[in-house]
Amino acid sequence: MMNRSTKVFFLLILLVFYFTLIKASETLSVSEEDDRILSLPGQPSNPPISQFSGYITVNQNNGRAIFYWFFEALSNPSDKPLVLWLNGGPGCSSIGYGAAVELGPLKVDENGVGLVFNNFSWITEANLLFVESPVGVGFSYTNTTSDLTKLDDEFVAEDAYSFLVNWLERYPQFKNRDFYLAGESYAGHYVPQLAELIFDRNTNQTKSMKINLKGFLVGNPETDDFYDSTGLLEYAWSHSVISDEQYNKTKEVCDFKTSNWSNECVTSMNLVYGKYREIDIYNIYAPICLSNRTSSSHGYYYANKEGSYRLKRARIFSEGYDPCYSNHAEVYFNRADVQASLHANANRGNSNTSVKWNVCSDSMLSMYHITVQSVLPIYKKLVQGGLKIWIYSGDVDGRVPVIGTRYCVEALGLPIKRPWRSWYHQHQVGGRLVEYEGLTFVTVRGAGHLVPLNKPSEALALIHSFLTEEDLPAEI
């Protein structure tokens, strides 16, 4: 039987062991400063940019981790809102498009060897958080292969919510900050579905973190299969991509209200996509990227019998100074020194081994289960819930055309607050807009699928108006 002094001795040993474990846990945990980027290869020295990147684990048991790249606002970051940006696909990188091509402060140069400052970055308006979602996209990963067979909108929304909660724990100064979601293309699903999840979890404060979600903004968004498909076909015909005969034949054999298209419809829609192979479906008046024209760098779609359209080749090119911009992004982000600076291998064991990074994942496109045909019910719910919602549309995009998006918005049946009118940018028509009770729809004249790339100055004016509630200007 132990005497008192022996008991005290063992108690002291236990206490020492306990505090050693606590200290070790603190040492192993990742902090905000651990994720700080000191400098990226080829980064300009001015202006100084405060940036962070790394992984947030969303499922410890399966080893599922999502990669992010975060920029503090260029000035007064403590007074600016937080905006989380998602790209679509499914399977395309928010780093490769949103951050490095469109609205981030650092854009990959034309040779893929360095970075240039983006004078039209949304960093002037907000703190920007770019997230590669879902796992399997870009640098995001899972150590459990079966996770990749479960990917659908519900799975992705849950992971994105887990990411956000854990990211806010790492950056607690943003917990009570005004928060907005934004994205484009298939993020037309991701964004409202994540917004709904946050909205629902916010109602149960005993179990969930309160996230100060104020609203969301989506561009050229996939929204409703019927209206999107109808709009795609009508746009191709009305913009002389397909013949009258092809248009009439496709209308005759296709019933877009069903998710299981007939063989005749699949064949006819593949002919429509075939004509789009000659140009850029994402910006019908833009030059196409001519490098490796016959390789996987040329984007086109094909239809399947389930009624969805899949991207056969996953690179997306749009009008800009260089239609091959995403090629350069792949060169840059596959460099070992760039990945090391981004902490892109930190949780994968060997930080000296480069990760193969792609702008878009071909395998993701074939694995992803598109189970939600329409997110319009979510819009109705969140409009009633009082969230601020904007939809914008580049009007020369053939992939998610303005026609289909107008059908989607009109299907909500919202009362009109202010009627359809022009808005101006630098004394030229920037586009048109109509304000409904609970939702604003804006077009951007001459922009394709990637509005911030094609019309960067107009896109900056748009996000400024969205965040500040200042009207987009009318002609003086």
**Known catalytic residues?**
185, 397, 449
The token duo for 53 is 């990147």
b/e per residue 190-218 (b: at least 16 CB within 10 A): bbbbbbbbbbebeeeeeeeeebbbebbbb
- Distance, in Å, from the CA atom of 56 to the CA atom of 71, rounded to the nearest integer, reads 16
Neighbours of 55 (CB within 10 A): 23
Tell me 150's DSSP state: S
Rg (alpha carbons) of the chain, rounded to whole number: 24
- Distance, in Å, from the CA atom of 394 to the CA atom of 220, rounded to the nearest integer, reads 7
The token duo for 125 is 């308006």
The amino acid that residue 72 corresponds to is E
- Distance, in Å, from the CA atom of 97 to the CA atom of 95, rounded to the nearest integer, reads 6
What is the chain's length? 476
What is the distance of C-alpha 413 from the center of its chain? 27
* Omega prior to 456 cis, within 30 of 0: no
Backbone φ and ψ for 290, nearest 5 degrees, come out as -90, -10
Helix (H, G, I), strand (E, B) or coil at 20: helix
Where is 444: in which H helix or E strand?
Answer: strand 439-444
Backbone φ and ψ for 419, nearest 5 degrees, come out as -75, 170
8 A C-beta contact, residue 423 and residue 430: yes
| Inter-axis angle of helices 153-170 and 187-202, nearest 10 | 60
Torsion angle defined by CA atoms of residues 446, 449, 451 and 455, in that order, rounded to the nearest 10 degrees:
-40
Helix (H, G, I), strand (E, B) or coil at 394: strand
- Distance, in Å, from the CA atom of 72 to the CA atom of 171, rounded to the nearest integer, reads 11
- Distance, in Å, from the CA atom of 364 to the CA atom of 98, rounded to the nearest integer, reads 19
Strand-strand pairing, 141-142 and 64-71: antiparallel
Tell me 171's DSSP state: S
What is the distance of C-alpha 351 from the center of its chain? 27
* Residue among 114, 107, 160, 81 nearest 450 (CA): 107
Q: What is the largest CA-CA distance in the chain?
A: 98
